[in-house]
């Protein structure tokens, strides 16, 4: 596979077995993808695993979706920066003061600071989930509200569904990053995701990075699936 200058695919490493995860990573080239370490692996294997993956040359998105009081979230974001990750996230619903504190603590890192992004509405949620939470907006309206708040709090981008990407790019500008999970190559199983698109559709809609887990990690030939996705984007 050709080296990519800015790989778009961020593979979600949702494994409960470290050796299996490492065997999977061994097949990959950091020039063709980035890797996401989320709550499952971090809770099992901790910061050492993150450092191990960073040391292999991969850009790591540490997806711990922090949501707490401003001081606690800022210190957690600083701890993530000290691990050398490429991107880290918080929940936008934690509010402006929480996001501003998280951004401010990264200032001393200068251009070594990780990208700081916020989760808007989870891609597994639909209208009925929001209604049950007392939010009387459509998922798209709620995403727009939280993404606007995220940008005005000084963060670098948001996690959202690719269904919202087109409108958010226009509203928030080209440099505000849109990271979209809920990506399914044609013919693959949607699983628990609700608002999905194919990789090509998502990039065409304005997504900057595609978070893809099971369609790659559970494929018989994960590298072939990754190569096909990258080829579909070039």
By the rule CB under 6 A, 12 interacts with ligand OMP:
yes
Question: Does 33 help bind ligand OMP (rule: CB under 6 A)?
Answer: no
Residue 220: name the closest of 188, 186, 184 by CA: 188
Is 94 within any annotated ligand binding site?
no
The Cα 53–Cα 207 span in angstroms is 25
Two tokens, residue 107:
């200032």
Q: Which of 80, 159, 165, 210 binds ligand OMP (CB under 6 A)?
A: 159
By residue count, the chain amounts to 234
Q: How far is the CB of 185 from ligand OMP (least distance, A)?
A: 10
148 touches ligand OMP (CB under 6 A): no
Least Cα distance to 97 among 142, 155, 10 occurs for 155
- Closest by CA to 116, choosing from 44, 63, 188, is 63
d(CA 60, CA 42): 12
38 versus 206: smaller Cβ distance to ligand OMP: 38
Q: Residue 213 CB, nearest distance to ligand OMP (Å)? A: 3
Nearest to 56 by CA among 38, 71, 37, 43: 37
- The answer on whether 71 is annotated among ligand-binding residues is yes
65 an active-site residue?
yes
Q: What is the SS3 assignment for 63?
A: strand
Tokens of residue 12, six digits:
């979600």
Whose Cβ is closer to ligand OMP: residue 76's or residue 107's? 76
How open is the CA angle 20-38-70, to the nearest 5 degrees?
Answer: 160
Of 63, 156, 164, 208, which one interacts with ligand OMP (CB under 6 A)?
63
Question: Looking only at residues 103 through 142 of this chain, which bind ligand OMP when binding is defined by CB under 6 A?
Answer: 119, 122-123
The reply to whether 184 sits in an annotated binding site is: yes
**Nearest distance, CB of residue 222 and ligand OMP, angstroms:** 12
Applying CB under 6 A, which residues contact ligand OMP? 12, 14, 38, 63, 65, 89, 119, 122-123, 159, 181-182, 191, 193, 211-215
Catalytic residues: 65
Q: What are the binding residues for substrate?
A: 14, 36, 63-72, 123, 184, 193, 213-214
């Amino acid at each position: 596979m050709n080296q990519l200058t800015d790989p778009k695919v961020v593979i979600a490493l949702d494994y409960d077995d470290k050796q299996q995860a490492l065997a999977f990573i061994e097949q990959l080239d950091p020039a063709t993808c980035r890797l996401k370490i989320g709550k499952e692996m971090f809770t099992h294997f901790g910061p050492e695993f993150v450092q191990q993956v960073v040391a292999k040359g991969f850009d790591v998105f540490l997806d711990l979706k922090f949501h707490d009081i401003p001081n606690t979230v800022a210190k957690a974001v600083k701890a993530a920066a000290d691990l050398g990750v490429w991107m880290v996230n918080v929940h936008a619903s934690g509010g402006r003061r929480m996001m501003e504190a998280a951004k401010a603590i990264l200032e001393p890192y200068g251009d070594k600071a990780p990208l700081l992004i916020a989760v808007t509405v989870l891609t597994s949620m639909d209208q009925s989930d929001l209604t049950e939470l007392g939010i009387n907006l459509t998922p798209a309206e709620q995403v727009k509200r939280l993404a606007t708040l995220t940008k005005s709090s000084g963060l670098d981008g948001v996690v959202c569904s690719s269904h919202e990407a087109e409108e958010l790019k226009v509203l928030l500008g080209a440099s505000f990053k849109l990271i979209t999970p809920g990506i399914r190559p044609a013919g693959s199983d949607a699983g628990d995701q609700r608002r999905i698109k194919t990789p090509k559709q998502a990039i065409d809609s304005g997504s900057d990075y595609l978070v893809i887990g099971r369609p790659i990690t559970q494929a018989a030939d994960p590298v072939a699936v990754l190569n096909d996705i990258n080829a579909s984007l070039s």
